[in-house]
Amino acid sequence: MRERVTPLLSEAQIQVRVQELGAQLTRDYAGKELVVIGLLNGVFPFFADLVRAMDMDLDISFMQVASYGGGTESTGEVHILKDLDRSIQGFHALVVEDIVDTGLTLFKVGNLLKDREPLSLKICTLLDKPSRRKVQVPVDYVGFTIEDHFVVGYGLDFDGKLRNLPYVGVYHP
Ligand code: IMP
Ligand code: MG
C-alpha cells in the first residue's frame, strides 16, 4: 500500500508545527485546569507529540467514535465506541483530532461534550480540509490546512492501514 502514497508533509515539517501548537496552547491555557481529549484511533501520534510539546500540568482522556463505515466517506452517523473515563465538568476541555473533513464528527462530539458542562471547549486538529465542510464547527487550532486529498500516515488510515507512516501523504487508490 505504501507505493500508493505521495508525501505531502514531512516528519520534520510536522514536528516544527506541533512544537508551535504546543507552545501556543501552553500560553493559552496557562494557570487553567485542562483536560486534553484525544479522539482515537487516528489521533495517537499527534496527541502524543502535542501533549509532550505542552509545558504545563494537564490531564488526558480518550474517546473513540466511528463515523466511517470502512470507506473514505463520512456517513453522517457518529457512534460512540469508547467514552471518556472521567468527568470534564469544571475543567477546560481541548478536543484533539487528526483531521476535520465534513465536520460531522466534531459537530456531534462537540454537542455531546458541551452538555457535560466544561468551563470551555475548544478544538485542535492536525489537518483541516475546509473545502469539504458540511456543517460549521469552530476549529480553534489547526496544524495544516490542506486541499481536498485523501491523506494517510501519522495516524490517518486507509481501511485501517498506513497509520504508522511517520509522515503524511496523499493516498492514490
Ligand atoms: P468528518 O466527520 O467528515 O469531519 O471526518 C472526520 C474523520 O474522518 C477523521 O477523524 C478521520 O478519521 C476521517 N477522515 C477524514 N478525511 C480523511 C482523510 O483524508 N484520510 C483519512 N481519514 C480521514
Ligand atoms: Mg478518525
C-beta 98 within 6 A of ligand 1? yes
Residues 57, 101, 157, 159: which is the catalytic one? 101
In the predicted structure, residue 70 carries a pLDDT above the cut 60: no
**What total of structural domains would you count in the chain?**
1
In the predicted structure, residue 25 carries a pLDDT above the cut 80: yes
In the predicted structure, residue 73 carries a pLDDT above the cut 70: no
Mean pLDDT over all residues of the chain?
95
Q: Tell me: the pLDDT tens digits for 148-173?
A: 999 999 999 999 999 999 999 999 99
Domain containing residue 27: 2-171
Task: Give the chain's end-to-end CA distance (angstroms, integer).
Answer: 9
Q: Residue 165 gets which letter from DSSP?
A: -
CATH code for the domain of 90: 3.40.50.2020
What is the DSSP secondary-structure string of 58-115? -EEEEEEEEEESSSSSEEEEEEEEE--SS--TTSEEEEEEEEESSSHHHHHHHHHHHT
| Residue 101 is a catalytic residue | yes
Q: What is the pLDDT of residue 77?
A: 74
C-beta 22 within 6 A of ligand 1? no
Q: Tell me: the pLDDT tens digits for 79-110?
A: 899 999 999 999 999 999 999 999 999 999 99
pLDDT above 90 coverage of the chain, percent: 92
C-beta 165 within 6 A of ligand 1? no
Angle at 16 between CA 132 and CA 21, to 5 degrees: 65
pTM metric for this prediction: 0.94
Nearest to 156 by CA among 77, 74, 21, 44: 44
